[in-house]
Structure 1
Amino acid sequence: MRLESTRNSEVYRVWLTDDDLEELRRAAGSHRDDLVIQLGGFVGLRAFEIPQVAPKHVKRTPDGDHFRLRVPEGKDTTGSGGKPRDAYLPREVEGDIHRYVRSEDVGRHKPIVDLTESGVRAVVKRTAERAADATGDEDFRHVSSHDLRRRFAQRLLVDRQMNPRVVMTVGGWDSFQAIEPYLNAPTPEVVNDAFEEAGFE
């Protein structure tokens, strides 16, 4: 985990690792709270998008091997209202959603996570506080819901070197300028790998 200062001395951008995400998941107080962490960190949903998705929005692709999660009203920077998109839904997250929906008897048209946007943010903050207590790493106390989405983007763009246009499509970014900040902080491992692949030892 790495903290980056912002103009607000009280707020930091937090660059999480997947290990940090797992610590957050372990600290989650419930299955629902764990899903919030997963939907942000592995599906890339914004805090206001998480309450929108219902079981009916989980779709299997025609090849039968992949899943999408329809976001009815994502962020639209053009100002013309919510913009729908199909987020890539990893199989493991789909399985967790399925188990949660069955155990909680969530109706097909009801929100999977029945919280407001501020409720989602509170879950992330509360879970981060618990992770800080459990690990002794005080940096967790700075984690916000947007940092989960930041990890999602960095994993795809930096760690996996995925085509930025694909990331823009599944993550709901309208321009290269919008995703450029996520390219700024490769992990030390990514730097090492890049130089090794280029023939430097």
Structure 2
Amino acid sequence: MRLEATAKEDEFKVWMTDRELEELRRAAASHRDDLIIQLGGYVGLRAFEIPQIFPKHVKRTDDGDHYRLRVPRGKDTANGTGKPRDPYLPKDVEGDIHRYQNAEDIGRNEPLIDLTERGVRAAVKRTAKRAAEETGDDDFTHVSSHDLRRRFAQRLLVDEQVNPRVVMQVGGWDSFQAIEPYLNAPTPEVVNEAFEEADLA
């Protein structure tokens, strides 16, 4: 985990690995809180988007092999009213949504995560605090809901080298400038691989 200072005192951008994201998931106090972590870290949802999701927003693609998750009102930097987007929904997360919906008896037209944006942020902070206690790594205390989205972007752009235009579409970024910061932070594994490929290890 790497911390990057921000303009605010004692506030950091946190660059996690997938292993650390999984440690965060294990610290979740409930299935709901784990699902919040997954929606941020594996689907790239913003904290204000998570409460908008109903089970009816899970859509199987025409080929039957993939899923999308309709976000009714994503971030809209053009006019601020919110615009729909359809992030890619990994099968594991889709399955977890389905299990959670059934376990909690949530109707198709009811919120999957019945929290406000503030409640989502608080759930992430509580989970991060628990992760710090369970792992002994105090860096977890700095994790915010946006850091989950940061992990999502970095996984796609840096770890997996997905086409930036695809990342922009599924993540709801409107410009290359918006995703550029995620390109500048290779994980330790990516650094190691680069040196190995160059025979400099």
In structure 2, distance between residues paired with 1:130 and 1:83: 34
Alignment of 1:1-201 (within 5 A): 1-198=1-198, 200-201=200-201
Give the counterpart letter for 1:18 in structure 2: D
In structure 2, distance between residues paired with 1:35 and 1:67: 16
In structure 2, distance between residues paired with 1:94 and 1:139: 29
Alpha-carbon distance, 1:197 to partner: 3.3
In structure 2, distance between residues paired with 1:40 and 1:100: 16
Give the counterpart letter for 1:157 in structure 2: L
State the secondary structure of the residue aligned to 1:102. Answer: helix
Give the counterpart letter for 2:65 in structure 1: D
In structure 1, distance between residues paired with 2:120 and 2:188: 31
In structure 2, distance between residues paired with 1:54 and 1:175: 28
CA displacement, residues 99-154 of structure 1 (integer Å, 9 cap, x when unaligned): 00011110101110010000000000000000001011000000000000000000
In structure 2, distance between residues paired with 1:34 and 1:182: 24
State the secondary structure of the residue aligned to 1:63. Answer: coil
Q: Unmatched 5+ residue regions in structure 2?
A: none
Q: What percent of counterpart residues are identical? A: 76
Alpha-carbon distance, 1:196 to partner: 3.2
Alpha-carbon distance, 1:48 to partner: 0.0
In structure 2, distance between residues paired with 1:21 and 1:35: 12
Give the counterpart letter for 2:167 in structure 1: V
Aligned residues: 201
In structure 2, distance between residues paired with 1:198 and 1:164: 24
In structure 2, distance between residues paired with 1:198 and 1:170: 32
RMSD (CA atoms): 1.0
In structure 1, distance between residues paired with 2:56 and 2:171: 19
| TM-score of the aligned structures, taking structure 2 as reference length | 0.97
Give the counterpart letter for 1:159 in structure 2: D
Which runs of 4 or more aligned residues in structure 1 lie more than 2 Å from their structure 2 counterparts after TM superposition? 194-201
CA displacement, residues 31-58 of structure 1 (integer Å, 9 cap, x when unaligned): 0000000000000000000000101000
| TM-score of the aligned structures, taking structure 1 as reference length | 0.97
Give the counterpart letter for 2:146 in structure 1: H
Alpha-carbon distance, 1:10 to partner: 1.5
CA displacement, residues 4-51 of structure 1 (integer Å, 9 cap, x when unaligned): 001112200000111111111111000000000000000000000000
State the secondary structure of the residue aligned to 1:13. Answer: strand
In structure 2, distance between residues paired with 1:4 and 1:129: 19
